Structure 1
């Protein structure tokens, strides 16, 4: 359980998150993920990183129950900073990052895949930001990298999800495959990238980031300010207290 790094083939590092039962990451988990991705990218032998997860789904965002156990704001601050670091680590990784997504990809998961260089998804993968249902805001920056602007807004306001097939239609998912073929498909793409010259592929990653029209770190940090406002005002706690409970008649 936790975050692990393996080297399945020459030039490829695989970073895997495993936080049962649904990969809702605790505060430390986000920092651990950030450290693992950055370390993999710094390794001169690595030319591509595959970001994946074990269990039922790719990522369910932050651990809401951990936040509910904290009577103060330390966990909220930690989760926001941890997510910020993990998302930035994927974006700033010195080599391309291929996200291999299965099952649910929610909340913080959108921040990870939205900052990845390429996404391969299983046909059961779903993507969304249920933030308004969980007393939080954020990662619209990253959802906007996956779907067109108006669809992003509709998904954000309703907390609905989009399927892997829909994202493939919009061009943000490279390939959709049966779940049993996900790792193979992700490795095929990573292998093709890893065949490139190591120095040149790092220059390419820096060049592409340099021409990005949106500063993803600044944009996401702006969003986080509203999450803090929701937390300090009490509205976040009010919404989170209904998390996991059936609505009353």
Structure 2
């Protein structure tokens, strides 16, 4: 359980997240994920990183139960900072990051894939931001990188999800494959990227980040300010208290 890194092929590092039962990450898990991605990207022998997960789904966001067990704002602050670090690590990774998504990709999962360079998904994958149903705000910055503006707003306000096939039609998911073919499809794309010159691929990543029209770090940090306001007002806690124990722990 936790975050692990492997090197199945030359030039490719695979960072795997495994926090049963639904990959809702505790505070330390977000920091561990950030460290793993940054370390892999800094390795001169790595030219592409694959971000994947074990279990029922790719990511269910933050561990709300951890937050509810903690008195005071420490868990909220930790989760916000941890998510910020993990999202930034994916975005700032020195080499391209391919996200391999299966099952649900919710809340913080959107922050990860929205900052990835490419997404390969299984045909059972779904994507969404249930933030308003979980007493939180944030990651609209990253959802806006996956779908057009008005669809992003509708998904955000309703907490609905979209399928991998729908995102493929929008061009944000590279390919959709049967679940048992997902590892091979992600590795195939990573292998193609890793065949490039390592120095040149790092220049390409820096150049593409440099022309982004939105500073995703500043934009997400702005959103987080409203999450703190929701908590200070008490409304976030009231919403989180309605969170069912039999539901996925996304936020």
Q: Name the TM-score, length of structure 1 as normaliser.
A: 0.98
The residue aligned with 2:148 is: 148
Q: Secondary structure at the match of 2:162?
A: strand
> Structure 2 CA distance, aligned partners of 1:85 and 1:170?
28
> Structure 2 CA distance, aligned partners of 1:240 and 1:8?
40
Displacement, 1:71?
1.7
The residue aligned with 2:116 is: 116
> Structure 2 CA distance, aligned partners of 1:139 and 1:104?
16
Deviations 1:196-231 (A, max 9, x none): 000000000000000000000000000000000001
Q: Secondary structure at the match of 2:153?
A: helix
The residue aligned with 1:227 is: 227
Q: How many residues are aligned here? A: 246
Q: Secondary structure at the match of 1:15?
A: strand
2:151 maps to 1:166:
no
Unaligned stretches of 5+ in structure 1? Answer: none
2:40 maps to 1:40:
yes
Deviations 1:15-57 (A, max 9, x none): 0000000000000000000000000000000000000000000
> Structure 1 CA distance, aligned partners of 2:144 and 2:3?
27
The residue aligned with 1:183 is: 183
> Structure 1 CA distance, aligned partners of 2:238 and 2:174?
39
- Please report the RMSD computed on the Cα atoms of aligned residues, expressed in angstroms: 0.7
The residue aligned with 2:62 is: 62
Deviations 1:72-127 (A, max 9, x none): 11000000000000000000000000000000000000000000000000000000
The residue aligned with 2:91 is: 91
> Structure 1 CA distance, aligned partners of 2:213 and 2:7?
33
The ranges of structure 1 where at least 4 consecutive aligned residues each deviate by more than 3 angstroms after the TM superposition are none
Where does 1:5-44 land on structure 2 (aligned, <5 Å)? 5-44=5-44
Unaligned stretches of 5+ in structure 2? Answer: 247-251
The residue aligned with 1:157 is: 157
The residue aligned with 2:249 is: none
Displacement, 1:245?
6.3
Q: Secondary structure at the match of 2:17?
A: strand
